[in-house]
Chains A and B, each alone.
Chain A
Amino acid sequence: MRRMFWPLAIAVLAVLVVAAVVWGAVPLSLHAIAAAVMGRGDPDTVAIVRTLREPRVALAVLVGAALGMSGGALQGSLRNALAEPYLLGVSGGAAVGAVVVVSMGFATPFLLPLGAFAGAALAIGAAIAVARAAGGRADPRVLLMAGVVIGAFANAAIMVLLADAPADTVRGALWWMMGSVAGADWTQVGWLAAYTAAGGGALLAMGRDIDLLALGEESAAGLGLDAERAGRRVFLVSSLLAAATVAAAGLVGFVGLVVPHMVRAAGLRRHRPLLLGSAILGAALVVSADLVARVAHPPADLPLGAVTAIVGVPFFLVQLRRFA
C-alpha cells in the first residue's frame, strides 16, 4: 500500500487534470484540445482551453494542494484528528481579512492573500485561546467548537461589512463564500502558486518538528524541540496557506480534514511524506469536486465549497464518532 501510494496518487491526479481540461460546457474533441494546448487550431478552441479551462484546473490543483497540506499540518501540530482550516475558523477569518482589503480598494492578487492571512492568523489565535480558556486542550471537540464559533462570527462580520455594498458586489461575495475556481486567470494562479510553494516548502521543512509536536508538548520538549515556538510557526504557515486559497477561490471546506486521513490510511505517518501526499490527494480531490460542480447541473456551476462539503460532512461525522 505504502509503496504503491506515490505512483497511484500521481496517476489519479494526472487523469483527473486531463479529464477536467477535456470536460466542459462546450464539447470539444480530444484532438482539438491537444492542438489547443499547443496553441494551434481553431482560435475559439484555443481561447476556451487556454484562458478558461487550464487556469481553472491549475487553480483547483493549487487550492487542493494548499488545503491538504494546511490540514495535515494543523492535525499533527494540534494533535487533533478533526482539525482543518475551514472548521477551525481560519478560512472564515481569512475571508474577513480579504473583504476588508477589497472594501478598502487594495484588492491586488498580491495584497489580497496578505489581508486574508492577517484575518486567518487572528482567527486561529482566537480559536486556540478560546479553547484554552474553556480548559479543553485535551478534548479535540472543544477546539473545534471554538473554531466553529469563530467561523460564525467571521460570517456575521462579512455580512456587516457588506451591508451597504452594491447588489452585485454582495452576489459576488456570496458566491465567493461558497468557494469557486470559476473565472480563474493566470495571474491568480501565479500568485497562489508562489504562496503554495513558499508555505508548502516551509511546512515540509518543519515536517520533523510536526512529528514531535504530535507527541505532545512535554515529549517534544524532551526531544529537544522548543514546542511552543515550533507550534506557533506551524499555525502561522498553515494559516498562510489556507488564507492564500481563500483569497483565490473563497471558502472551500473539509478538504484539509479528509485528505490527511486518506494519506495516513495508506501508511504514510511521518509528516514530511504525509504533507506531500496530502498535497497530491488534496489537488485530486478539489479538481474532481470542481469537475462535479461543472457537470452535475449544467449549464449552471454548483459552488465548489458545496460539493466538498457534501463529501466532507459524512466523513467528519465518521471521525467524530471515534471520540463519542
Chain B
Amino acid sequence: MIAFRDVMVRYPRAEQPAVDGVSFDAGRGAITALVGPNGSGKSTLVGALLRLQDRAGGAITIDDVSLDALDRRAFARRVAVVTQREALVFPLPVREYVALGRYPHEGAWRAAGQSDDAAVGRAIALAGVEPLAERRTHELSGGEWQRVRIARALAQGGDALVLDEPTTFLDIAHEMAMFELFSRLSKSGMAVLLVSHQLNLVARFADTMVLLNRGRVAAAGPPADVMRASVLEPVYDWPLVVTHDPAVGAPALLPLRGRAP
C-alpha cells in the first residue's frame, strides 16, 4: 500500500545523502519492519513520508497515487504516523486527545459528529485503552502513553500505520503487548510499517524486514533471509551470532563481546 521507489533525501550542507535510492513496499495485512543502525536513514524515510523532509529524488506512492498528488489531510486519512517522540505541554483528557485523530476528517467549523465519536470509540477499543479513557495524558506511564498515541493514530481511520521506534523505553511486558497489538492490527488488514531496533522481536513478528545501512537497502526479505550473521555483521560493524529462538524457532541474534570500545 505504501511504496518507496528510489527515494533519495539529502540534508542541506550534508556531503552524503541521508537516504540514497531506497525502494520497498509496505503491504496490507503485513508487518514490514525497517531496521538498521543509528543514522542509517530510517527516521529520515518517515520524515520524507510526512513531507517534513523534501525528497531529492524518487517517488513515494500510497496505493499507486503519488504522495505529491495527495493533499496532507487526504494522506492523513489513509496513513497514520506515530512519531518517535511526543510530549504534551498542556495535558488533555485521554478521550479528547484521541479525538484529535479526527482532524483530517473535520472542516474548519464543523463540530465532531456521531461518526467521529464512533471512530474514537473504536480506536480506543482497538488499542485496548478503554481503562485509560477517563484519565489525563500526564498521568499515564510510558507504555500507556504509547498505546494512547496509537489509539489516536487509529482514530484517523486509515488502513496504514507507521510507527517510529514505538517500544523504546518500554519494559518486556509492555513491549510484547505492543507487538501483539501490531500483529492484531496487521491481521485485521492494516499495513503496518515499523521502525525498530528490536531485531529479535521484529524477526518473530514481521513478515518482511528491510535492513538499511548508510541510506541504502543492505538486505530485504523475510526475517530468515535478513537475520544472518553474514548480512548483519558488516552493517552493524559488531561481531554477532544468529541462532534460533528455542521457544518459537525464529532467528535470534546474539551480539558477542568483542572489541574494546
Chain A residues engaging chain B, CB cutoff 8 angstroms: 75-76, 79-81, 140, 205, 208, 211-212, 214-219, 221-226, 264, 269-270
- Of B51, B88, B109, the residue contacting A221 (CB under 8 A) is B51
Quick check: is B90 within 8 A (CB to CB) of the other chain? yes
Whether A81 contacts B89 in the complex (CB less than 8 A), given A205-B109, A224-B75, A224-B104, comes out as yes
Q: 21 A-B pairs, CB-CB below 8 angstroms?
A: A75-B90, A79-B89, A211-B103, A212-B100, A214-B90, A215-B86, A215-B100, A216-B86, A216-B87, A217-B52, A218-B52, A218-B86, A221-B52, A221-B81, A222-B82, A222-B83, A223-B103, A224-B73, A225-B103, A269-B92, A270-B96
B interface size (C-beta, 8 A): 33
Separation of A127 and B77 alpha carbons in the complex (Å): 35
Task: Report yes or no: B96 in contact with A269, Cβ–Cβ below 8 A.
Answer: yes
Interface string of B53-84 (1 = CB under 8 A from A): 00000000000000000011111110011111
Question: Which partner residue on chain B sits nearest A270 by CB separation?
Answer: B96
Which chain B positions have C-beta within 8 A of A216? Answer: 83, 85-87
Quick check: is B180 within 8 A (CB to CB) of the other chain? no
Which chain B positions have C-beta within 8 A of A270? Answer: 96
Quick check: is B108 within 8 A (CB to CB) of the other chain? yes
Chain B residues engaging chain A, CB cutoff 8 angstroms: 50-52, 71-77, 80-90, 92-93, 96, 100-101, 103-104, 106, 108-109, 153, 156
Whether A222 contacts B80 in the complex (CB less than 8 A), given A81-B89, A214-B88, A214-B90, comes out as yes
**Measured between C-beta atoms, what is the minimum distance from A143 to chain B in Å?**
12
Question: Which partner residue on chain B sits nearest A78 by CB separation?
Answer: B89
**Residue of B50, B92, B96, B106 contacting most chain A CB atoms (<10 Å):** B50
**Measured between C-beta atoms, what is the minimum distance from B252 to chain A in Å?**
33
Separation of A176 and B255 alpha carbons in the complex (Å): 69
Task: Report yes or no: A214 in contact with B89, Cβ–Cβ below 8 A.
Answer: yes
Task: Report yes or no: B90 in contact with A223, Cβ–Cβ below 8 A.
Answer: no
Question: Which partner residue on chain A sits nearest B100 by CB separation?
Answer: A211
Whether A223 contacts B77 in the complex (CB less than 8 A), given A205-B108, A218-B83, comes out as no
**Measured between C-beta atoms, what is the minimum distance from A218 to chain B in Å?**
4
Which chain B positions have C-beta within 8 A of A76? Answer: 90
Question: Which partner residue on chain A sits nearest B81 by CB separation?
Answer: A222
Question: Which partner residue on chain B sits nearest A83 by CB separation?
Answer: B89
Which chain A positions have C-beta within 8 A of B92? Answer: 269
